[in-house]
Chains A and B, each alone.
Chain A
Amino acid sequence: MAVTGIAPHPRPQPNPRWAAPRRPRVGVVKFSSCDGCQLTLLDMEDELLAITERFDIVEFAEATSNRSHGPFDVLLVEGSVSTADQAEEIVQLRRQATTLVSIGACATSGGIQALRNLGDDDAFRNSVYPRPEWIAALPTSKPVSDYVAVDAELYGCPISGRQLLELLTSLVVGRRPQLPDEAVCAECKRLGNTCVRVAGGVSCLGPVTRTGCGALCPSFDRGCYGCFGPREAANTVSLANWFGELGKGDAEVAREFAKFNVGAPAFRKIVERER
């Protein structure tokens, strides 16, 4: 997070008191995903070079031809597990990583491709592959935490660069990462946004969705569609019940929750109840 009003040092001088004896070894790997979460790291243009100086990025296939199978001090994992090879690989990677962080909706809840976990034959029944034996994929797209223990999670589709930076900073500085688990509404109200739902009758999942994006959707005059996933104690049942007041039918309500975090239990519950 850029500190407003404070000029950062032109070239960061790590405080030797806090520096680890060596640079932490960082890996970035990808499973089934669009690449957007990894790209978030490359999109932190202002901090990228400082990060590469502070951390030793030993594995990041998109950015460097230097490869490593570990060990890693910090391993960022993007993407859901949806093939047998990936299921094996994540177990191997877990053994190599001290701190494993799953990043993004795919890695933390299975992504939108987790829709096929709902066993919805209708959607896939009519597709006939010319050569199905050439394709190796599991019938499900699952989050990393379904296969291995995970030390931290960054949510979002994509994740927030600010939150990634906060996580990395907290590792360097030594503080609990500030990744608040509160509703998008809290951020909207702090920013001074008008509630699109109450004032405009626009459907918005903000009240049950975790903040982190900076309340982007309502700031740009549309409703939140839940890409950061359900927050703690997300009372999706209550919100779904209230959708009727906005004139939405059951099928529409189910579709609202059947998006990028459909694999998360609080969202999945609503989709399944409407089926």
Chain B
Amino acid sequence: MSDVFIAFQANEDSRPIVDAIIADNPEAKVVYSPGLVKIDAPNRLVINRETIEEEIGRDYDLQEIHLNLVTLSGHIDEDDDQLSLSWDH
């Protein structure tokens, strides 16, 4: 078992994204460092468009996360509704 992670710039725009990730991934750990929010999760981490929409109260295009995305690790599986990171093939 190893961790996947994703990191965002620490700002107003990424806060609801981080909140949505925490809501959807109970095992995720959030590490705040200056200017950066890094989220580690064992094996798998998923970002759901719907959860983000609930947080921000408007329609959301998942591609918007790239405006604040800094880095990530794990194999990416993404479509319009969700983006997940894992080590599965």
B partners with A: no
Interface residues of chain B, those whose CB is within 8 Å of chain A, are: none
